[in-house]
Amino acid sequence: MRKLVLFILLLFSCHSFAAEQQDSVAKSRHRVTLYGDTEESVSPRQHGLIPIMSFTTIGIEPVRRLTIGVSYIGYLGLYKDSERKTYYQTQGIGGECGWQLFKAKKDGTFWDKGDEIDIRARYGHSIGGGDLKYDLYDAAIIYRYMRSVIDLSLAVGYRFINSHSSEVRNHSNVYLGIGIGI
């Protein structure tokens, strides 16, 4: 519970900092903005393992349309074979780079002003003494619903996890992610 409260406080502090940045950007030519988001994703079962991943990202938009960020990765792998049921849990860090493909300038038939479509590439690596050691490679297309202070996002992507643990094989699959951001 304490981690959740700290995370919510972090999101709100990032939002107030980003709002101050946007006010100062309006007065200057240099447009660097700070953003934060969190995403939960789940993939279908492969080799008896269902990977559920959580990404918490803080990043910047150094130039228009380009985003660069660092992520904390939480990994939970629900494992089931004919003999046992268990789970693998580990943490990781990673980096991401994104590019805005489309941003609606006005309300239309399918889009409202501010909606956007982005592409993103990620790399992640496990840290600490978790149950699973891995390298993660990820590419996604994201729809962002940006109509209020908090943005909602829906991601569809492809993820490859190179496992360095003998108990779990490498797995690659398509995933669905839902996120919120500021």
The residue segments making up the domain with residue 12 are 2-181
- Average pLDDT of the residues in 170-175: 90
- Give the containing element (helix H, strand E) for 88: strand 85-103
Greatest mean pLDDT among 9-13, 26-30, 142-146, 165-169 lies in 142-146
Task: Decide if 79 contacts 134 (C-beta within 8 A).
Answer: no
Query: Which residues neighbour 167 within 8 Å (Cβ) at sequence distance 6 or greater?
Result: 88, 132
**CATH code, domain carrying 123:** 2.40.160.20
pLDDT digits (tens, 9 = 90+) for 114-162: 788 999 999 999 998 888 899 999 999 999 887 777 889 999 999 999 9
Total domains, the chain: 1
pLDDT for 18: 47
pLDDT for 84: 74
